[in-house]
Structure 1
Amino acid sequence: MKLFVVLLVCAFAISSSFASDPSPLQDICVAIKEPKDAVFVNGKFCKNPNLTVADDFFFQGLNVPRNTDNKVGSFITGVDVNLISGLNTLGVSVARVDFAPYGVNPPHLHPHSSEILMCMEGELYVGFVLSNVLGNRFITKVLKPGDLFVFPLGMIHFQLNIGKTPAVAFASFGSQNPGFITVGNAVFGANPPIDPEVLIKAFQLDKKTVDYLQSQLWYNNHN
């Protein structure tokens, strides 16, 4: 039993050390604009906790549908530390994802956090791809209202509205700033562009195809 307790404590210690955001050492740390000539900190600088107000922890408007009339047919309203300053050091954030009929949230990844997605309206075809070590196995599911799906940290994933009506989902993250890297935008829309020879060899494409992809306007559906 003692050995079991020791192992359990070690397991919790190890899991905590791999958390996306470090644990705070104070009750609250409402973010403020960086002071002039400030040194970098992992997070944002803090307001005096005695000066915090309710609005530091408040955001309004996630009930409002967003405009999905764009190239991908989706729009993400992320609510992170940049919109709620009171999220600083708390290690959480959320997002609303609106989909037009057959709209897609293109393949992307979050470098700082795993994600839990809840389908609220419509039907979503979702999935993620495991790492090279695990054979790039594809994990997928169709979600209906009330269904949840988890996307592990750093895994490329997507969501597609497979219905004829708009769809809505809400996402929760274990980071105040989960990050957002859309694969197509990063690879073919890099600024300045990646040398085409790299993409030709890496993706086994001909130069004409690479030139075409690099010439496209890669839309950013994230606010």
Structure 2
Amino acid sequence: MTTPSERTVRIDAGDAPLVGDLSLPADAHGLVSFAHGSGSSRHSPRNRAVAGVLRDAGLGTLLVDLLTQAEERVDMVTAALRFDIPLLGRRMTATVDWLAAQPDTARLPVGLFGASTGAAAALVAAAERPERVRAVVSRGGRPDLAGDALAAVRAPVLFVVGGADHHVLRLNEEAAERLRAPYRIHVVPGATHLFEEPGALEQAAAAARDWFRPMSAIVPWE
């Protein structure tokens, strides 16, 4: 297997510079950008584990911090910015635009992967860029926080939720009912919110891989 090219990138989001880790297999047939969850970052071991599974399937990955280091320090105290979905959604949209402008990623169909509150940011970006975003996966997400953007999403959405994460499962079911796009709810039996149980994260990653893998042939839903 060809070793992916990897580099740290800086993305101008308009109101802040964002830092991300871009990894591209030589024969990538798509790319997935990650929106991290509450109090997390691009160094999240869970998201990096999922990203590895996607790269093994021939997909590029972009793990990007949607908050600057200064903002993260504030958020560690207030926990406010991690719930600022308009802010996170705008910055996730900026990453989609940045990918469209880069010579080595412009041709690739884009999927978005969001965890916790990052799922809402991913859905907002999917609603803002329906011509670019081909598929969305929410892992243990709070898609309900995307609000009215849910009805504007056109890409197929996969909700991956732990079977023991009862409150979040209900929120996902309610959010799914507001979608007009195709969707599926994938419940990982016995898993809690962080998918820490043996084999739970692997199941979530496999479900995401299978959802994203055919996106190069997906035409955005109309």
Shorter-chain TM-score: what band?
under 0.3
Instruction: Give the TM-score of the pair, scaled to structure 1.
Output: 0.26
- Tell me which protein shows more helix as a share of its residues: 2
TM-score normalised per structure 2: 0.26
Query: Which structure carries more relative contact order (alpha carbon 8 Å, separation 6+)?
Result: 1
